[in-house]
Amino acid sequence: MKRDEESYVEFVAASQDRLRRIAYAVCADDSRAEDVLQEALVKLYLAWPRIREQGREEAFARRVIVNADLDDRRRPWHRRRARVEEEELAALPAPLGLSRGERLDLLAAVRRLPAMQRRTVVLRHWLGLSVEETASELGISTGTVKSHTSRGLAALSDALSGELDEECGLPGAPTSR
């Protein structure tokens, strides 16, 4: 039993920051992300001996994070709370080669996506999960993953190209008066 607790503590110490960032990306809300992460860590602790034997500790924690976010959104008292601070967002893993400003713009656009599109894009493109792994984590079909991901990426492309057009003063970009 002591060995299980020690391995759990080691895993949490090594993975907590990464899991927190995943929760922020999935929830798009800092206080909800903290709650979801704590719920995931409690459930992981309870299932630790079984999960550790399978070697799927992080996958289990990600699944709990996604499910806890879904459950929370279904509750009637769900309300929007304060957003994640920009500094926290900048610490999220992102595709290589992006400047800090580009990462912040991308993360802001991801936050504006509908919940399921945001989840599929984060799991597929931030965390690099396959279509099948994403479907399994979200409890949906692979076709649904593909359609949500496609719509999410199209919306991100539109949002980011619109912001770029606005910044560069390109024709057709909205102008402020």
Residue from 94, 114, 115, 120 nearest 105 by CA: 94
Residues 6+ apart with CB under 8 A from 61: 15, 19, 40, 41, 44
Instruction: Give pLDDT tens digits for 20-67.
Output: 988 888 887 788 888 889 888 888 898 898 888 888 888 898 888 888
Q: Rounded to two decimals, what is the model's pTM? A: 0.52
Number of Cβ within a 10 Å radius of residue 154 = 11
Asked if residue 118 has pLDDT above 60, the reply is yes
Closest by CA position to 123, among listed 149, 90, 87: 149
Under the banding of pLDDT at 50, 70 and 90, the label for residue 1 is low
Domains and CATH numbers, the chain: 1-93 (no CATH), 94-177 (1.10.10.10)
Convert the pLDDT of each residue in 151-174 to its tens digit. Answer: 999 999 888 887 644 544 444 444
20 by Cβ neighbours in 10 Å (0-12 / 13-18 / 19+) ranks as buried
CA nearest neighbour of 37 among 22, 49, 47, 50: 22
Burial call 31-42: b when 16+ CB within 10 Å, e when fewer: ebbebbbebbbe
Average confidence (pLDDT) over 132-144: 91
**What is the rounded distance in angstroms from the CA atom of residue 166 to the CA atom of residue 84?**
25
What residues have CB less than 8 Å from 63, skipping those under 6 apart?
Answer: 137
d(CA 102, CA 166): 15
